[in-house]
Structure 1
Amino acid sequence: MNARPLTILFMPESAYGPTNQCIGLGDILRKAGHRVVFAAEASWRGKLEALGFEEDLVDLAPPSDSAEDEDAGQFWKDFIRDTAPEFRKPTVEQLRTFIHPTWQALIDGAVYCEPQLRQIIERVQPDVVVEDNVVCFPALMTCEASFVRIVSCNPLEMQGNAVAPVFSGLPAGDPTEWEAFRAEYDRSHRELWETFNAWVMEQGAPALPELEFIHTSETANLYVYPEEADYVDRRPLDATWHRMDSSVRETDEAYELPSLAADRPEGSALVYLSLGSLGSADVDLMRRLVDVLARTPHRYIVSKGPQHTEFELADNMVGAEFLPQTTLLPQVDAVITHGGNNTVTEALHHGKPMIVLPLFWDQYDNAQRMDELGFGVRLPTYSFTDEQMYAALDRVLSPQLRGRLAEVGAAIRSRDGLRAGAAVIERVAREHRSRVEMTVSVQA
């Protein structure tokens, strides 16, 4: 990369997935000598600075008396906890009872922080603003800096008639239910979209695309998904889109396997269980998984999450509230996951087959994609039987599938998506700097 310093402002969604995705890119850019600033949500205070970044944070809602003591991403942990009963419903029913309230919460946060974000941009004076979120923040669209959008969810977010609708978890090869799902999305979201679109335009930003809550960049857009699992054969993208086959941050500490995991009996595999910071907050689900997996010959490393004190692990398990996922994954044989895009793409990067138990948002789309491509097994999260879990374990631990995924992982790693994405951001920022300098020169 060119050594001349640039200023790059990241604004990720408050959840761990998008923030970790931006941390990985930001770390590459910081090490190249650039100034990297995070306009993250306030509960991340101190955590990004510890990694070498500047923090200029925003509140998405009026701060509470205990705001300084909140865990990173607490805003969304609380929201998911309060709406968790909706995850048991079919995806088409979740449109009104979960997806709509989620959009509303995201929109409320965007509206609330808009004045703060304008002030941050004025202070930071970025060459490029990089948004990894799913709603528009007009301040990012109306400032002088260039704008880069990152899609760190399943790329069905870039919609098209030849692919299944986003959030549906419907199969790619059977369009029977696609139109009904799209019609219900229109019925349940049209009014919300119209209101938000009007506000976006009032702030000076362009109108939003039809029934979408965020713009694409006219300059450069990034998305995180391996070529082997992508949808571009059914839904081509224009030249502004750049695929990052994976985006595995290099900031996690090394993970040394505990003796229970390292010294396991012959024939015992090592499986990583993570439902993410939000999914693992469902204590009943975690207890169910511990119970069924305890009756297998395998060993498990469990990411226990924010409710880690509320359930106990079985004798064939070790775990902790937080685990360095990116350095742990290369050492396991398979993964049981909620289907968050970070975990799915990181598992593929390391060539690990998956059992996917989707809960919300794009997790159904990832679960379906892994299953229909044969990269893993999708199970019904709240109704799987013991026998289904055991059969899924046999499938993902088979030598044939593990061998196939090892080859996929090697190909993904060879494309180095993290540095490819950082190079796009740097290029856009440098082009902006050149335009500004040229304008100043002409005016002088």
Structure 2
Amino acid sequence: MSATGRAVLSGRLASCLVAAGLIALAAMPAAAEAGGRTSIDLRATYDARATIDWDEGTIVVRSMARITNTSGRAIDYLVLNSFAAALGRMEILRAEVDGARVAITVEDQNLLVPLAARLAHGAATEVLIKYRAHFRSGSAGRDYHFSRANGIISCLRWIPWVSDYTPFWESDWGEQMNTAVSPLVQVSITTDIPLTISSTGSRLSSDGLRQVFQARDVRDFNFTAAPDFETLAGDSFDGDTRIVVYSRTLPRQPMLEHAQQAIELFEQRLGEEYPYPRFTISEASGGAGHESPGHVWLGPTLSTSQLARLVVHETAHQWFYALVGSDQPNEPFADEAVAEFLTSAFFHQFDSGDCPSDRLDRDISYYGGCLYEVIYQQGSVFLEGIRRDIGARHFWAALRQYIDRHRFRFGSTEELLEALRVHAEVAGVDLLPRYEERFPRLY
């Protein structure tokens, strides 16, 4: 997607959700209504310090974002995203832009940060945000994303991160954020009791109750923590990736083994190494599964077969989400269908589900209770049909080309389909008729 297109994405998404009856026009950011411009095409590094009170179930965060405008045009305000606003009753304690106090507008999961003057292309600014939030005490629905439940803290989207303006999505399926890659994230977490922390990135040091982490080239930094996590460590089969499994109740050995097998297969098929030196797999406070860069969550109540499949699915997201980003709320096919295809290929088991056949080019709000069966399952079957018809050599070459063009950047459903179409033509197969049927918005 172009910089111009991404700059207006918040407006297009809000318009789509307005049409679907999910939000009101009042949910549009005030700066956008006044004609102000923002962008996700910014280079940002983050230095975040968190203090956690386990007994009180609170977190106090001080985050410094150093942001350079790389969008090609001047911007008037920033959109940052944090689930602490949507789920944690966020209380802003202090907000500054370049050392001057500012008033942040909190709308759902979006933090709208005003700039004193337009930020020109190439110019930089520093944004300091300090807040207090409360972890949810339950793990139903989306609550587990920001909760202390079942003996575990799960903390997702806690660093205010450069993002598109996106309404919070209550449904259990579908991702409701769109974030850009940061070249460097530094994190310090201090706890009131000893906690074992599983996170994005790598732990640099541990001194008493304070632990320091660092991550590079990530779209987010998330973590889980528990006083009684047990761990199992191993390496990928090629020895390039350290894999560490954290859990209270889930079996660690099969999780490690499925991650090792998935990394080996996906590296072979996609022609691209797993993108980080470390992969952490953690039991979470609830939910089913969730991906983060170099770090995935698995729910505590999963069956053996569910656990195996979700380990593989979330591992697949390390290529299609972490390495190649996409507009997850508006174009879920570009990451979820591909991740589910890789998972189904791993298990040699494809299932289109029970929902009626439907188009694959709509946003997450369109599908209702059929989002999983249409986008994930029907989407994976659709891709398997292409692989079967054009042959494995052409199919995997197309995915490799798509990854190579969008490494640590944003791809899209259309760009993915076009990569497949070009290679299909070489194989003598015309994909346009099936594209026109399942992707009428694009074809």
Same fold (TM over 0.5): no
Higher helix share: 1
Q: Which has the higher contact order (CA 8 A, sep 6+)?
A: 1
Structure with the larger strand share: 2
